Structure 1
Amino acid sequence: MPVISGSIPNLVNGVSQQPFALRLASQAEEQINGYSSIVDGLAKRPPTLHSAKLQADLTDNSYLHIINRDANERYVVVTGEGDLKVFDLAGNAQTVSFPDGKDYLASTDLSMITIADYTFVVNKSMSVAMAEETAPERPPEGMVFVRQGNYQTTYRVFVDETKVAEYTTDKLEASTIATDHIAAQLQQQFAENADFNVSRSGSTLHIYRKDSGSFKLRTEDGIADAGMVAITGSVQSFTSLPAKAISGYMAEVTGAQGNQYDNFYVQYQGSNMDGVWQEIAKPGRKVALDAATMPHVLVREADGSFTFRKAEWEKCESGDEDTAPEPSFVGGKISDIFFYRNRLGFISDENVVFSRSADFFNFWRSSATGLLDTDPIDVAVSHVKVSLLRHAIPFNETLILFSDRTQFVLGAGDILTPDTVSIAQATEFDASASCRPVGAGSFLYFTTSRGGFSSVREYYVTGDANNKDANDVTAHVPQYIRGGIAKLSASTTEDIIVALSDTCRNEIYTYKYFYTGQEKAQSSWSRWTFPEQDKILNCDFIDNSLWLLIKRPDGLYLEQMKIEADRRAGALPFDIHLDRRVSEQQCLDISYDPASRKSTIKLPYEEDGKLQFVTVGDGGPRPKGYLIDPERPSADAVRVPGDYRGVSFCVGRVYELRYVFSPLMIRDNAPGGGQIANTEGRLQIRRVLVNYNRSGYFRIEVTPYRRSTYTYVFSGRVIGSGKNVWGEPVVDTGSFKFPVMSNNMQVKIEVINDTPLPTHLLNADWEALYSVRTQRIA
């Protein structure tokens, strides 16, 4: 039986649920609280650092949003039970005023987006409506415009086919043919009618009944009826309107007969003799969106406080229901809000609606007579199936629209205008409606449901042909993410995606990836676990830190997880892996009892789990890096021997790294490239050697099938090493060899680190006895 050896090149490709023969050598059976790094190998995940307790009570369905305004101002918005609170990242509550709109928060289905100092809040369960406000109307009125004077010509005015005024110009006197003179003469005769009021502005008469009733107005003249124009509410062309008119007079310009889309409405604005005709909305039509049903705004004021209120949405200023219709989201529900190419956008049913360019509160056309490039855009997707849009994500210079089963691309030219906008079907993939997709560099990640589990797809564009596809990055772990995914967050700095499950609220599923050119060199799934009473409600990356909002029995906590490499705790050359970690500066009180020679430290939270105390600075009763299992006088305090007033230390909850090796296999080169598992014969593993870097502790547990577990501990201390100083933790680099003596398919090999010290495992080599009864031929 010959002795052979093999190797695992690295341990950075996470978990695989494929059959053992199909896995990569670098994939594991399980990885909990591990971090797969192409630089540091398999490491213990970063700890969470306590930032603040935000509030004492919170419902599970509360909505949380992080405002990343700039490097100096970042806030957490917490909503729940019809209320809204804002905290900075240190946990300080900010002043929030509520002049109106608080009822809008009474929903568990909210969405937010922050643009500069405005955070738009959308209640997805509320239908948008129009307010009862209508465009101003005026009582029936008319105008007679004397356009042309002529010698010895008779001008007549008829009301309801009854002549009410007549004037004939002189055949020689020039003053009698002045248009304002003719209008003045007609006014004198008209004034004799007790039922009407008549006023004059230059060559124009303004006529209305004293009882505000309607009437018909007609004119005649001796120059083919071209000398005067009678107007009662409408004219066919804009040129028929007088240059001077009565202030406030409204008229409809009907345009071509039979075309209802070229009508528009105007009003004479200014003084009677010095004004202009301005386009207006049709008198009597509804012109205002109901602000109580529209998205509200959380505004950061100049003094640093916040105001939550109804937004001031612009009103319709032109056209009627045909030429300037209501936005398509009126009568429907807004399912997503986004910002794209200097426009605020809403998704409602199958429609995508953009505001005016650089005018985020205006969704009305500026004119009914022409479509401007800056006007709002309101388009619907076209598909053979009903495609209710759920999300809109800016990506690769386009806007990707997600429905339940189809992805659309909203494209445009160099500028986005009503004339250039277009929507094309891109791909057909199932997509989750509950989780908003997230962009990460040149990829877009979205989730799909797979029975009682979830999967994540990686959407990308390839080649000059602009082909689009979406790979399933969970294909090798189809039953790993339990339940639905409630939140995705990405860091392009660290090439990591994190997912929150709506079922396993105390777990974070992490996807670590790395590309070398067009080839993916790493595709690692693992999970980070927390105690069962912890419910992670939201997470977001800011720079290279993951900020977590965690609900615990005693309140809502904000914690930070620094993902960057070369983390250090205090003066130590390595990081201390304790969750909810607090420094001496964050502790509420540090008291020393000379009688017992012990220090009692009051923590800013209560914790029932195992806590550890670590010195991280010089000058204390113990050297830096010293680990102490403290006494627990109460749930929010620890007691340790020695006087630690003025000493740098940290306290936190212990968490555990677990990594289970896949069965060790002989792998041969496959004819078409890659490797194939050789399952012939018997492989008896004798021993395994693990190479480590900057590691202070780990232990290996070897459990042969139906036999006891054997434990082999690496404490960081190597006999004879100059680094092995008593009382100080050792973080060293080298190799650790341990026996296995079991069949490769009937043994479980597990790496565990349940201490605050770091672990970095690079690769592994194994040695085995191999016997085979046959010889394979090519």
Structure 2
Amino acid sequence: MPLINTSIPNFLGGVSQQPAELRFPEQCEEQENALATVVEGLHKRPHTEHLGVMGSAPSGVAYWHLINRSVDERYAVAISNAGLKVYDFDSPTGIVNTHAADESLVDAADLTYLATTTPDTDIECLTVGDFTWVLNKAIQPKMKSTTSTSRNKEALVFIKAGNYSTDYKITISDDDGSNESVVQYTTQDASSSDNEPDIQTNNIAAALESALTNGVTFAADFNGSLSRSGSLLGTTGLDTDDWTVTREGSVIHIKRDDSADFRIRIEDSVADTKMSVAKDSIQSFTGLPTTAPNGFTVKIVGDPDLSLEGSELGYYVKFETSDGADFAQGVWEETVAPGIEYQLDPVTMPHLLIRKSNGDFLWTPANGATVDHTGTPDATAVSVPGWTDQAAGDGTTNPRPDFAATSAGADGNPIRGISFFQDRLVILSGETTTFSESGQYFNFFRGTVTDLLDTARMSIIAAHPKVSLLDHAVPLNDQLLVFSEVTQFVIRGGQDGTLTPKNVYVTPAGEWESNPTTPPVSVQSSVFFPALRGSSSLIREMFDQSRSNRANFTAPELTAQVPSYIQGTVTKMAVSQTEDTLAVLASGATNTIYIYRWFNSGGNRTQSAWCKFTLSGDGTVIKDIEWIDQALYVVVARTTASDSDVSLEKMDFEPFLVDSPSDFKVLLDRRVINTSLTIGAYDSGADTTTVTLPYAIPDGSTMQAVTRETGGVKGGVTITSSMGSRGTPSGAGGTLVLTGDHTSTPFWVGEAYTMTYTFSKVVLQSGGAQGAPTKVTGGSFRIRHGTLVFGDSGYFKVVCTPVDGISYEYPMSGIVAGDPGVSLGSVVLDGGEFRFPVMADHGQVTIAITNDSPLPSRFMMAEWEALYHTRTRRIRL
């Protein structure tokens, strides 16, 4: 029986759920609390640093959001059912003051917009600068019932030019055509220069005004002739109880005082070119005078000569007098149609969480108010942005956004997601993606309908044979990826990278199922998104594989080798560009962070590995995770005595970190330094020192104290201890009883956790056709010994468990060197080769590496020494 060896070149492959015969040598059966990187090899995962218990944080269902304002200002926002709390990363034990508009701290009455029993899926936040939009998807945005200004029915008659021997005629009647009155003025001929005043437009207008108001009575020096008829009005003019007629220059203003509608028609004997009338609408903007009543509004129904976008559908203009007078010269400005709902209701729209200059926060609807907290310390006034009113067009030329229903709640699609792309706020509703005006994040109406500006708001529908209700929008370089539950779309603009209403377009990017409640995350040129597969979840990586301007997306599954590894529904994903690491939370294992680690080199992915990190303690629930640079911040709820507290912890992935001046890191979760503890007096009788931790200790947690290298004390030595009291959440912290006098000893305290790496079943390979390895399946294959190449390790052990269930443990302990004058020894890390016996058939033994100590361990490769015997000889056909 010949002696052979086979090796594992590295430990970078992560977990595989494939049969061992199909795995790569570097893949394993289990990898828990161990991380493999191309730089450090396989090592015990980074510990968590305790940053603080988050006072009164919701331990139940909640939505969490990170505000990363700067290196010195980072906040965690917790939103529960009608609850809102903000925590500072630097001091998470206290709640950052969050005020309502009435200067008081927010309470339930201020937070009705956040009322939902499922805040984890209904709430979504987006932070840009000092503003955080907070969306409740369960609330339908609406328009306010207030309508734009509607004036009484009125008309303008404009005498544009005066001609000799010309008839100027005004016909007025009720809206049904009854009670018709006709006023006609005919100018004299040009036979005498004395007739010149007769053709002045203001005189013509004065004659018509007088006829309308005073019948046929004129001053003695008045020239021209007047005829007037009408059974209702007779010769006394219009009924002054129902009408008001005024004039300024060549313009006559005719207004119906009782708000009833009326008809008006003008005629002149020069092909109707010397007069114009504006009532409700007018054909051309050029027919309007430069003098008019202040606020007079009219629709321009068509201006083909202007070549303006939308002018063929009409637009509205309102007159603004120059000096604010009631009837004077001024300018016409584009305006909104009268009598329509034109304001978004801020009560139903996403609200704002605004960081104030004094570090406090303001919770408010986006209502445009100025909030001056005069009664608070460090009083600061805040100008709250407001949702911009519709200022032009009507429901056809400038319709309300797809996400906004009428004030009665009709014809609106709820907001399903928000994003930010190319200096525009993005809102998803139904199958529509709506972009705000560029740089104006609160404006979702066009500022003008006479031209389509590049900066204007825009909406685009993702048309597809499948119903595609859009849930998430993820910026990726110069394009926006939009996700529905069954389809993905890409929204792009021009080849120069701009995105305008004139060049925006949407195309399908793929048809992969995705989770509608979990936002995808992007890094570099990829987007990761989850989908549910039975009782577990899969993760895909979506990227553009084309090398041209025409997008060609693909989305290979990253969990193909571990199809049932992620248990339950993915609830949160966070990705680090610094560390090339994806962290995943799922509902099936609430104390677990699933880790996907990758490494690309030369356009190829040389590492694609899954593992998991678990946090100890009964009832431990990881609520949220977020990356900042190389650090993963973790919000954790732990249960003690039927109650829970929520802590903020930090896991630093920076390679080769040490506790200076030591040359290694003490690995304890929830780690705190002795100077942050309450240390009791030394009990000489019992020879113990009791320390009180800043948090409660749940069942299932094992606490340890380890010396910290300082001065004459060497680090890394575990202090003998026993559990005192577990404490209570939001009350007294747990206690640990240390053996000996440690009132002046520098040390760390934290929760022990165990690293486990279980090898795949060892499978013999031989060179196959064209150099490809093939599995050798025949013969007797017994493993005699294994060898681990390790470095910088203080402790680990190899556990071999044959099928009979009796485990054999082979520990490796670092060298402990005594230091004269110091009672505590020092831990010295070791490296080299660690050889251990196996003595079992390759398929009848489980081999694992574990490390339950606070000391590091690191592994580069492994080798197996085995006996192999076969009765036949393999040949290649």
Q: Structures share a fold, TM > 0.5?
A: yes
1:291-333 Cα distance to aligned partner (Å, 9 max, x none): 2221111111222211111122111111111111111122111
C-alpha separation in 2, matches of 1:701 and 1:721: 32
Q: Measure the CA separation in 2 of the matches of 1:63 and 1:517.
A: 40
Whether 2:204 is the aligned partner of 1:182: answer yes
Q: Is residue 2:672 matched to residue 1:625?
A: no
Secondary structure in 2 matching 1:540: strand
Whichever residue aligns with residue 449 of structure 1, its letter is L
- C-alpha separation in 2, matches of 1:509 and 1:669: 35
Q: 1:459 to 1:663 in 2, by over 3 A?
A: same
- Written as runs of structure 1 = structure 2, the 5 A alignment for 1:438-449 is 438-449=521-532
The more displaced of 594-603 and 494-503 is: 594-603
Are 1:221 and 2:230 counterparts?
no
Per the alignment, residue 500 of structure 1 pairs with 585
> Residues 119-176 of structure 1, C-alpha deviation per residue, up to 9 Å, x if partnerless?
1111112222221121110001111111111234443333223134646457423333
Output aligned runs, 1:650-669, within 5 Å.
650-669=748-767
Per the alignment, residue 36 of structure 2 pairs with 36
Q: 1:345 maps to what in 2?
A: 426
Per-residue deviation, residues 259-286 of structure 1 (Å, max 9, x unmatched)? 9961211110124333211111111111
The match for 1:273 is 328
Q: Which moved more, 1:622-631 or 1:707-716?
A: 622-631
Counterparts of 2:708 and 2:492, CA distance in 1: 55
Q: SS at the partner of 2:292? A: coil
- Conserved 8 A contact 1:505-1:534: yes
Counterpart of 1:387 in structure 2 is: 468
Q: What pairs with 1:52-131 in structure 2 (closer than 5 Å)?
A: 52-56=52-56, 58-89=58-89, 90-91=91-92, 92-99=94-101, 102-107=111-116, 108=119, 109-131=122-144
**Is 1:286 aligned to 2:305, yes or no?**
no
State the SS of the aligned residue for 1:472: coil
Structure 1 residues 324 and 479, CA, compared in 2 at 3 Å: closer, same or farther? same
| Counterpart amino acid of residue 14 in structure 1 | G
Report how far residue 662 of structure 1 moved: 0.8
CA distance in 2, matches of 1:592, 1:431: 59
Question: In structure 1, what is the Cα distance between the partners aligned to 2:11 and 2:18?
Answer: 17
1:137 to 131, 139, 150: 150
Task: Label 1:530 to 1:269 Cα distance change in 2 as closer, same or farther (>3 A).
Answer: same
- Give the secondary structure class of the aligned counterpart of 1:365: coil
Q: 1:758 to 1:230 in 2, by over 3 A?
A: same
Residue of 392, 402, 405 corresponding to 1:328: 402
Query: Bigger CA drift: 642-651 or 265-274?
Result: 642-651
Range 644-653 or range 391-400, more displaced? 644-653
Describe how 1:250-269 pairs up with structure 2 within 5 A: 250-255=297-302, 262-269=313-320
Once the two structures are superposed, residues 381-402 of structure 1 have per-residue CA deviations (whole angstroms, 9 ceiling, x without a partner) of 1211111112111114211111
Describe the superposition over 1:630-654 as per-residue Cα deviations: whole angstroms up to 9, x where unpaired: 2332221122244444543210000
Please say if residues 619 and 647 of structure 1, whose CA atoms lie closer than 8 Å, have aligned partners that are also in contact: no
CA distance in 1, matches of 2:294, 2:633: 60
Q: Any unmatched runs of 5+ in structure 2?
A: 102-108, 174-179, 215-236, 305-309, 367-385, 405-411, 727-733
User: What is the DSSP-based 3-state SS (H/G/I as helix, E as strand, rest coil) of the residue aligned with 2:328?
Assistant: coil
Q: 1:103 to 1:707 in 2, by over 3 A?
A: closer
Residue segments in structure 1 that go unaligned for 5+ positions in a row: none
- After superposition, residues 577-726 of structure 1 pair within 5 angstroms as 577-589=667-679, 591-593=681-683, 596=686, 598-608=688-698, 609-619=701-711, 623-635=714-726, 636-645=734-743, 647-717=745-815
Q: Deviations over 1:85-134 (max 9, x none)?
A: 11110214211112386211112211111111111111112222221121
Distance 2:328 2:682 in 1: 89
Instruction: Determine whether 1:568 maps to 2:662.
Output: no
Q: CA deviation at 1:584?
A: 2.1
Name the Cα RMSD after superposition.
2.3
CA distance change for structure 1 residues 451 and 279 in 2, over 3 Å: closer, same or farther?
same
1:720 and 1:288 mapped to 2: Cα distance? 78
**Using the alignment, how far apart are the partners of 1:8 and 1:551 within structure 2?**
39
**Structure 2: distance between partners of 1:66 and 1:689:** 45
Q: Work out the CA distance in 2 between the residues paired with 1:710 and 1:79.
A: 50
In 1: Cα distance, 2:59 partner to 2:49 partner: 23
SS at match of 1:21: helix
- Cα distance in 2 for partners of 1:393, 1:745 equals 47
Paired residue for 2:360, among 296, 305, 309? 305
The answer to which of 35-44 and 154-163 deviates more is: 154-163
Cα deviation, residue 618, structure 1: 2.4
Q: Give the one of 586, 600, 616 matched to 1:515.
A: 600
Q: Structure 1 residues 387, 748: closer, same or farther in 2, change over 3 A?
A: same
The alpha-carbon distance between structure 1 residues 401 and 607, as it changes in their structure 2 partners (threshold 3 A), is same
Structure 1 residue identity aligned to 2:866: A
Secondary structure, counterpart of 1:538 in structure 2: strand
User: Residues 337 and 752 from structure 1, CA distance in 2 versus in 1: closer, same or farther, beyond 3 angstroms?
Assistant: same
Pick one of 637, 647, 671 that aligns with 1:557: 647
Structure 1 distance, partners of 2:808, 2:722, is 31
Verify the 8 A CA contact 2:817 2:825 in the aligned structure 1: no
Counterpart CA distance in 1 for 2:392 and 2:743 is: 72
Q: Read off the aligned partner of 1:326 and give its amino acid letter.
A: R
Q: Distance in 2 between matches of 1:269 and 1:340?
A: 37
The 1-side partners of 2:257 and 2:476 are apart by: 63
Q: Does residue 157 of structure 1 match 2:247?
A: no
Give the counterpart letter for 1:211 in structure 2: D
* Change over 3 Å in CA distance of 1:726–1:206 after alignment to 2: closer
1:600 shift after superposition: 2.4
- The C-alpha deviation readout for 1:564-597, integer Å capped at 9, x for no partner, is 1111235321111111101123224554445555
**Which shifted more, 688-697 or 393-402?**
393-402
The one-character-per-residue Cα deviations of 1:359-382 (angstroms, maximum 9, x if unpaired) are 110011112222211111111112
* Number of aligned residues: 775
The aligned counterpart of 1:486 is: 571
Runs of 4+ more than 6 Å apart: 718-722
Asked whether the 8 Å contact 1:313–1:361 carries over to 2, the reply is yes
Query: Is 101-110 or 541-550 further displaced after alignment?
Result: 101-110
Q: Summarize the Cα distance change of 1:184–1:308 in structure 2 as closer, same or farther, 3 Å threshold.
A: same
Shift in CA distance, 694/473, structure 1 to aligned 2, threshold 3 Å: same
**Where does residue 452 of structure 2 map in the other structure?**
371
Query: Residue 149 of structure 1 aligns to which amino acid in structure 2?
Result: G
Contact 1:702/1:710, CA 8 A, preserved across alignment: yes
Q: 2:831 maps to which residue?
A: 733
State the alpha-carbon separation in 1 of the partners of residues 845 and 817 from structure 2: 30
What amino acid is the match of 1:275?
G
What CA deviation, in whole Å up to 9, does each residue of 1:60-93 have, x standing for no partner? 3200000111112110001112011111102142
Does residue 537 in structure 1 map to residue 584 in structure 2?
no
More displaced 10-residue stretch of structure 1: 375-384 or 591-600: 591-600
* 1:203 lines up with 2:250 in the alignment: yes
Is 1:399 paired with 2:480? yes
CA distance in 2 between partners of 1:341 and 1:15 (Å): 39
CA contact (8 A) 2:421 2:475 kept: yes
